[in-house]
Amino acid sequence: MAKYRILVIDDDGLMREYVQEAMLRAGYDVDTANGGAEGLRLLEAQSPDLVITDLKMTPMDGLEVLRQVKLASSTTPVVVMTAYGTIETAVTALKAGASDYILKPFTPDTVELVVSRALDTVRMSAENAYLRRELAGRNGSGGMVGKGSDMRSVQEQIQRIADSRATVLVRGESGTGKELAARAIHESGNRRNKPFIRVNCAALSAGILESELFGHEKGSFTGAHERKIGRFELADGGSLLLDEISEIGLELQPKLLRALQEREFERVGGTRTIQVDTRIIATSNRDLEQAVREGSFREDLFFRLNVITLALPPLRQRKEDIPELMDHFLQRFNRENGRTIRGFSDSARQAFLDYPWPGNVRELQNAIERAVVLSSGIVLDIPQFAFGSGIAAGGGKLTPGMTVAEMERQLIFETLAHCGQNRTKAAELLDISVRTLRNKLKEYGAASAEDE
């Protein structure tokens, strides 16, 4: 677990030593200061995780120390020590931003409990802020769906590796569900009750990514107004997902390698080594071996990541899961949009099975969500779907061996999609009558109620 640094401020030497010994016994790093002025100098130099200060000091009292600490770093917790007769001052300190107070005399167990509680509160606040950002940006991913042989093999492998501490590299094409697999690994293992933290390596510049991963100290760069806890620390005891790890630049890879090997690092602008117990799960849709050969990815980092590999099959190789995925997403988007669509026409289901799904599960999900939102009927039919770049079901590129009838069918659906399902415009572009178009759609099983 991460080792925290405590700063103890008191002008009473015996009390300083008493609190220092209690904190050392509890496993913390400890600095001590003889009075408020020295304490504030150490605050700037050491950037402690928590400050313990006596209230009754001269010439600078504990309330002034509290105010200065909060001005320097509003997120640094402060615990105040006071005698029983000055409890009103302790209440004043709480109103001024102190995390807690301890009444003298106290036992080592008491101060250890209060400090542990204050640090837990800070950590939970950082985790909650991260989770709020995650929930605000997520589009809802659902669970892993599929009972075909390929997915059963994936799920069995997840169960085997879930309790392991080893790094896992999840590989697969875009849209195959790599993040879902990573979450399943975490939630199936003995870290399930600890944090699952994610960072998208492809979405951040090198400087910002370093701060996101490892955190930074106040003043370490322009705009660093407060200390930031990085995601390696947030995930301490749990799992950290490094999404699209192939996009990490060469300049950051050595620091990441050290964090993976030694489970320790320093915050940006900091000198204190932080140790964590964080299980790493990484994903990539790129050929990392090729990136190593090209010199854009370190070979030693690749070997450190590639301890256990979980390969996710593309959707075109697991056609037996498509009907279940269709029903799963239909139920979900019905629920999210307040709709009551009953299902799919037979021709729509067949079109889903015939389509190669270059965008994998994500493309299938988006196609169904779009159809549910735009549909006015109770059954989803072929003309209501657009795959790829607007190609209707049954579409895709012309391939050798297609019959003229299949090409005609594809052309009609592509034209309808291009015209926003306006049959009059589609018929004009196809140089056929609207009646002929309607008859063709009946033949394909794609007629609507108005055609009956």
Assigned domain for 266 exists: yes
Residue 265 — very low, low, confident or very high, per pLDDT cuts 50/70/90?
Answer: very high
295 lies in the same domain as 326: no
Q: Is the pLDDT at 414 greater than 80, yes or no?
A: no
Residue that wins the pLDDT comparison between 423 and 290: 290
Q: How many domains, in total, are found in the chain?
A: 3
Any idea which of 56-65, 68-77, 197-206, 432-441 has the lowest mean pLDDT? 432-441
217 lies in the same domain as 342: no
178 lies in the same domain as 274: yes
State the pLDDT at residue 132: 56
332 lies in the same domain as 308: no
State the pLDDT at residue 396: 47
Mean per-residue pLDDT, 208-232: 87
Mean per-residue pLDDT, 13-27: 94
State the pLDDT at residue 34: 95
225 lies in the same domain as 248: yes
State the pLDDT at residue 282: 95
The label of the residue with tokens 């009103």 reads 88
Q: Is the pLDDT at 412 greater than 50, yes or no?
A: yes
Average per-residue pLDDT in the chain?
Answer: 84
pLDDT single digits (tens) 298-324: 999 999 999 999 999 999 899 999 999
pLDDT single digits (tens) 80-113: 999 866 778 888 888 889 999 999 889 999 999 9
Residue 214 — very low, low, confident or very high, per pLDDT cuts 50/70/90?
Answer: very high
| CATH code where residue 103 lies | 3.40.50.2300
In terms of residue numbers, what domain contains 428? 317-451
Assigned domain for 142 exists: no
Q: Is the pLDDT at 140 greater than 50, yes or no?
A: no
99 lies in the same domain as 179: no
State the pLDDT at residue 386: 60
Assigned domain for 138 exists: no
User: In the listed set 270, 297, 313, which residue is the last one of a domain according to the structure?
Assistant: 313
Assigned domain for 48 exists: yes
Residue 392 — very low, low, confident or very high, per pLDDT cuts 50/70/90?
Answer: very low
% of the chain with per-residue pLDDT over 70: 88
Q: Is the pLDDT at 395 greater than 50, yes or no?
A: no
